[in-house]
Amino acid sequence: MEAITSLKSIQLDALRETANIGAGHAATALSQMTGSTIMINVPAINVVRMEAIPSQFGDEEEPVAAVMMHMLGDLSGRTLLVFPKPAVMRLAELMLRRPLGSSTALGELETSAIKEAGNILSGAYMNALSDFLGMLLLPSPPSLVIDMSRAVLSSAYAQFASDPDCILCVESEFMLTDRAQSLRGFFLLLPDPASLQVMLRALRLA
């Protein structure tokens, strides 16, 4: 736990840069997949107690779609891709090459398209990380949940975190701009505390 709370600013900068490389590759993949322009923000690193995790969504009851995958191999942890529900419909339409606004229900095909988007994004992110850090990273199959934002995020943290007192969350924001719309989404990297040390060692900053 001290390992996480006592991170120096140079270590945080290195982690932010690592996340930026990952998010950059993921954004390129998403851009190619959807044929739209994707912008990413500088990643934010949050080190907080579970109950103090800032919400990316103003309304805690807002429905969101979240694709979670385990990260296995030399690092362990989870990746989470979160979109507000209206955005996720548009994402499914882009993936399935349908006209905008033509889909109303999330059926099996749409669900599968969203999971696949999560798969490709996390895959690109982890690939970039494993190249940069010289490690083997493997993704698990994705799991999709559509529910209120607070419930989804708190479950994602609480259910799988090894230490509920201190969560390290690396957050990258995506903006997808197309002809007539802009979609916002988040990519969260949640490394286990032990893996954080492994990452820092690979960055020669342990």
Partner 1 sequence: MTDIQVSISDYAVARAGTRLVTVGLGSCVAIALHAPAHRAGGLAHIMLPHAALSNDRSSPGKFAGTAVPHMVEQLRALGVTGRLEARLVGGASMFEQLLPPGGVPLGSRNVVAARAACADAGIAVVAEDTGGGHGRSVYFDVEAGCVLVRSVLHGDRTL
- Of the pair 19, 69, the CB lying nearest partner 1 is at 69
- Least separation in angstroms between residue 197's CB and partner 1 is 19
Q: What's phi and psi for 37, nearest 5 deg?
A: -80, 135
50: helix, coil or strand? helix
- Of the pair 25, 123, the CB lying nearest partner 1 is at 123
> Do residues 121 and 28 touch, judged by C-beta distance below 8 A?
no
- Least separation in angstroms between residue 156's CB and partner 1 is 7
- Of the pair 85, 98, the CB lying nearest partner 1 is at 85
CA dihedral 40, 43, 48, 50 (to 10 degrees): 30
- Least separation in angstroms between residue 142's CB and partner 1 is 9
- Least separation in angstroms between residue 194's CB and partner 1 is 17
Note the residues at the interface with partner 1 (CB under 8 A).
1, 49-51, 60-61, 63, 68-70, 78, 140-141, 143, 145-156, 158-160, 164-165
Write down the residue that tokens 């990297």 correspond to: 189
Residue (of 153, 176, 139) closest to 30 by Cα position: 176
